[in-house]
Structure 1
Amino acid sequence: MSTNDDYYIEILSNISVYLYRYGNLAIYILGNIGNLLSILIFSRKPWKKNVCVFYFIIFLILSCIYLNSIILGTALINGFDINAQNSNALLCKLLHYVGIFSSTLLPTVIILASIDRLLISSQNVETRLYSSKRLAYFSISSSTLFWLFFHIHLLIKVNIQQIGSSDWICDYDLSGSYIDFVNYSLMTFNCLFCLLMIILSILTFKNVRYIRCTRRHQRKQIRSITKKDFQLIRCLFVLVIVYISVSVAPALNSVYTTATKNQLRTPLQDETVYFVANLFDFIYFTFYCSNFFIFLIVSKAFRHELKRIVFKLFGNDLVVLTEKENNQNNNENLNVTVVNTIEIPY
């Protein structure tokens, strides 16, 4: 190995360490603060009754779980060389189990929220009735139980493995078939998640577009959808776009690493593959601290609620529109005449 190779290996290794030491900690801090603020805002009375907000709260809780398990764990392991999981089998198993469980349940919740927005924007009255808290509770409970049982093999196969005469590491079972199963199954799920999100977003977009066109030209409603509902749909669209953008590259890189693991590489090539994997993982981790900023940028109602909290925190009063005034302003902005009849075109 040449001196130049040693130089580049050291540079790539140092970048990876600093990425986990400072980048992951920034994501961890911003993500937890942003998620907790978002949960506080969505838990307030004007938001609690909305079914989509319920899904968002579950989504934010899962984001906090992932931040405090995988993202914090990788920051300590790769950034500060603190390997507590290598000395405790239970901690080792829980770290992998909780991390993968939350990373698969979270996109499932996004899909369930997308289904709810598709139902609420439907032209059919009976279809819209399926958007309910009861269905949301059932869907979340069923999904949680499914992923809890599906990933239970991690509690058996993940353990502290011996990789040398005196080296121990928390990792999957060292048999190649099991590692292939984990990597390919996660990639398959990720592809299915992304595909379903795209399909549901397109269908919801068509429904919303039809409602806007109907309101603009016919001045009659298929359903009274508030401006806040439209803002939640836009927030969901942005969440889907960001999730797909940051999750595709790590999944493909994982497949590539698994498929080429038996190929002979130089130390520089090994370090390059490791660095690329770390970079893609870091990009994926940014999704878990972006939720608050997405809600803040996309939703005017969210910003207004945040202002209320800040003003109350400093002892000032913020003038808040009543619900009736909000509805009137929403209708004026959308050029809608509210009527009690329902007209469904055939």
Structure 2
Amino acid sequence: MSPSILVLASIDRLLISSANVDIRLYSSSRLAYFSLSITLVVWCIYYIHVPVKFDTYQMNPVIFLCIFELTGPYPDFLHYSQLIINVVLFLLMVVLSIYSWKNVCQMKLAPPEQRHVVRKMHKKDFQMLRCLFAMNVIHVIGDSLIMTYTIYKASTRFEVLTAWEQNRNDFISNLGIFVHLIANCTDFYIYVITSRSFRQELKRSFWKIVSLKAVEARHINNEQLELPNVSAVSLPK
């Protein structure tokens, strides 16, 4: 899941899990559509520089290289803007995870006779809250290494590095990217592990597909059995 969508979904779950009734009312489809629209517009405005500053160079008849301008203030803008965006999204996921855990703890500490007064949530809301909390934790862990390296790289950008230091930085960068990509591939497994309804729906869909395949195979077999055996038909003499 995209970090932006994950942050918006976590904000929605945080609103709906709040003990304050007025805050829970903000969790609505109207707010979701508005937030998605604003996010889309912001990202479209931000990435306008890509078709303007990036250019494609043909290295050979089959290899093309897409790079940006290496001179002027544009490399600094690209580097620091990406750093700020990544840090902000990282901190938002950390804060939302902490507050989500706080809401869950408050719900568990509330007396049973007051839980229906403190909040009114459906079972699916709790499952989604657990899934998003697990996804936030996985993404925070997966992004921590690359985030630390990005900050370190920004602070030592103008220093002259030795060959060993350059190789070390390349190794840390590749390792951080690898861990980051692993975190982005765990959403399906998180839903399978943490959501019982998702597992049931997945099992239902699987058996539905298997049953459809079995019905099709049975139908084909019946059609083959109904066809006359040409070799067994005796021709008139």
TM-score using structure 2 length: 0.76
- The residue identity in structure 2 corresponding to 1:288 is N
Query: Secondary structure of 2:211's partner?
Result: coil
Among candidates 114, 130, 135, match of residue 26 of structure 2 = 130
Q: Percent identity?
A: 38
Within 5 A, what are the aligned runs for 1:111-126? 111-126=7-22
Contact 1:215 1:221 in 2 (8 A): no
Query: Secondary structure of 1:225's partner?
Result: coil
Contact 1:122 1:207 in 2 (8 A): yes
Question: Match of 1:303?
Answer: 199
Question: Match of 2:39?
Answer: 143
Among candidates 121, 146, 149, match of residue 250 of structure 1 = 146
Indicate how the Cα distance of structure 1 residues 259 and 162 shifts in structure 2: closer, same or farther if over 3 A, else same. farther
Query: Secondary structure of 1:224's partner?
Result: coil
Question: Match of 2:108?
Answer: 212
Question: Match of 2:126?
Answer: 230
Within 5 A, what are the aligned runs for 1:280-319? 280-315=176-211
Indicate how the Cα distance of structure 1 residues 158 and 125 shifts in structure 2: closer, same or farther if over 3 A, else same. same
CA distance in 2, matches of 1:281, 1:145: 27
Question: Match of 1:195?
Answer: 91
Indicate how the Cα distance of structure 1 residues 176 and 274 shifts in structure 2: closer, same or farther if over 3 A, else same. farther
Contact 1:238 1:294 in 2 (8 A): yes
Contact 1:214 1:221 in 2 (8 A): no
Query: Shift of the alpha carbon at 1:300?
Result: 1.3
CA distance in 2, matches of 1:268, 1:220: 61
Residues 14-69 of structure 1 show CA distances to partners (whole Å, capped at 9, x for unaligned) of xxxxxxxxxxxxxxxxxxxxxxxxxxxxxxxxxxxxxxxxxxxxx4xxxxxxxxxx
Among candidates 33, 49, 69, match of residue 153 of structure 1 = 49
- The residue identity in structure 1 corresponding to 2:13 is R
TM-score using structure 1 length: 0.54
Unaligned residue ranges in structure 1 (runs of 5+): 1-58, 60-105, 317-346
Question: Match of 2:74?
Answer: 178
Task: Report 1 or 2 for greater relative contact order, CA contacts < 8 Å, sequence distance ≥ 6.
Answer: 1
Contact 2:18 2:103 in 1 (8 A): yes
Question: Match of 2:219?
Answer: none
CA distance in 1, matches of 2:115, 2:55: 64
Contact 1:183 1:254 in 2 (8 A): no
CA distance in 1, matches of 2:64, 2:157: 20
Unaligned residue ranges in structure 2 (runs of 5+): 213-237
- The residue identity in structure 2 corresponding to 1:150 is Y
Residues 125-175 of structure 1 show CA distances to partners (whole Å, capped at 9, x for unaligned) of 232121111110110011011111112112211113699xxx973222112
Indicate how the Cα distance of structure 1 residues 220 and 251 shifts in structure 2: closer, same or farther if over 3 A, else same. closer
- The residue identity in structure 1 corresponding to 2:77 is F
Query: Shift of the alpha carbon at 1:219?
Result: 6.2
- The residue identity in structure 1 corresponding to 2:69 is D
Indicate how the Cα distance of structure 1 residues 212 and 221 shifts in structure 2: closer, same or farther if over 3 A, else same. farther
Query: Secondary structure of 2:145's partner?
Result: helix
Indicate how the Cα distance of structure 1 residues 223 and 271 shifts in structure 2: closer, same or farther if over 3 A, else same. closer
